[in-house]
Amino acid sequence: MNLARSQCNSKNAILVDCHNSFKGESGRVLPGNKEVFELMGAIEKIECAEKDHIKAGCAYNHMEDLSRVEGIGQSGVKVLVTEVANQKTAYILLDSNNMVIGFRDQILEKVKEIDIDEAEVMTTDTHSVNTLAGGHNPVGKKGREQILNYIIQTTQEAIDDLETVSVGCKMSRIKDLKTFGPNNATELVTTISSIVAVSRIFAPLVFILAILFVFVWTFYGAF
Confidence band of 41 (pLDDT split at 50, 70, 90): very high
Identify the residue with better confidence: 180 or 145.
145
> In the beta sheet, which residues pair with residue 89?
82, 118
Q: In what order do the strands lie in the sheet with 163-165?
A: 118-123, 87-94, 77-84, 54-61, 163-165
Which residues have C-beta within 8 Å of that of residue 150, sequence separation ≥ 6? 61, 63, 66, 76, 77
Are 181 and 161 found together in one domain? no
Q: Tell me how far apart the 2 most distant CA atoms of the chain are, in Å.
A: 94
Over the Cα atoms of the chain, what is R_g? 25
**Average pLDDT over every residue of 6-31:** 83
The domain in which residue 120 lies consists of 2-165
* Domain boundary, last residue among 123, 141, 165: 165
Q: Is residue 157 part of a domain?
A: yes
pLDDT digits (tens, 9 = 90+) for 160-182: 999 999 988 788 889 988 877 66
Instruction: Examine the pLDDT at 222 and tell me if it is beyond 60.
Output: no
Strand 118-123 to strand 163-165: parallel, antiparallel, or no bridges (unpaired)?
unpaired
Are 60 and 131 found together in one domain? yes
pTM for the structure as a whole: 0.76
Q: Is residue 171 part of a domain?
A: no
Asked whether the beta carbons of 69 and 140 are under 8 A apart, the reply is no
Are 160 and 187 found together in one domain? no
* Domain boundary, last residue among 144, 165, 186: 165
* Range with top average pLDDT, 1-15, 102-116, 168-182: 102-116
